[in-house]
Amino acid sequence: MIDPVLFLAFVPAALALNLTPGADMMFCFAQGVRSGPRAALAASAGISAGSFVHVLLAGLGLGALVAAFPPLFGAIRWVGAAYLLWLAWKTWRTPLMASGPVRASSRAFRDGLIVNLSNPKVILFILALVPQFIDPARPVLPQFLACGTVLAAGGFVVNGLVGVFSGRIGRILLESPRAERGLRAASSGIFAALAARIGWEALRA
């Protein structure tokens, strides 16, 4: 049911998205520093689940509904911007090396899922790119699901590795209070900048 040539062409495009730094990667990085490898992997799994949900909805035709009604898409943008601002504030206010388990794996999975589902860049990517690798003469939904599996698996590996290694390296670097504050400010600033960019794009739309 899937054109192997189109599918193989989609793999590098999906990998390029997975390797592009963004809210998903920064969230896994923060989880790895703050709560260790297990929480980072759980957050990465939540993000991958969100990517798969996006592709599934697009395959079922709901992506076209969002594209056809700009106010609905705008609402998704603002929700994503608001959540990123909340993450920026929480990252700035919460010490990276707080004692004890800061975040359970189940919460890390849930928050990773929310970060991905509320990220309009993921929706844009899926609506703009995935259909280019779909053969309309074949069943559409299985092709979307195959692409979603590639996106989810690649994202889990890339973001998970970022989170795991950030946890190990971060625990060494953050022995210095100045380094801890600097890394916290940088992470918070990236979340805020992403939120500002989403808001600006929503206002221009």
109-139 confidence digits (pLDDT tens): 998 898 888 776 677 667 767 777 777 778 8
Q: What is the rounded distance in angstroms from the CA atom of residue 194 to the CA atom of residue 22?
A: 8
- Low-confidence residues in the chain, pLDDT < 50: 99-102
Q: Dump pLDDT digits (tens) for 188-197.
A: 887 788 778 7
Question: CB burial class (10 A; 0-12, 13-18, 19+) of residue 93?
Answer: exposed
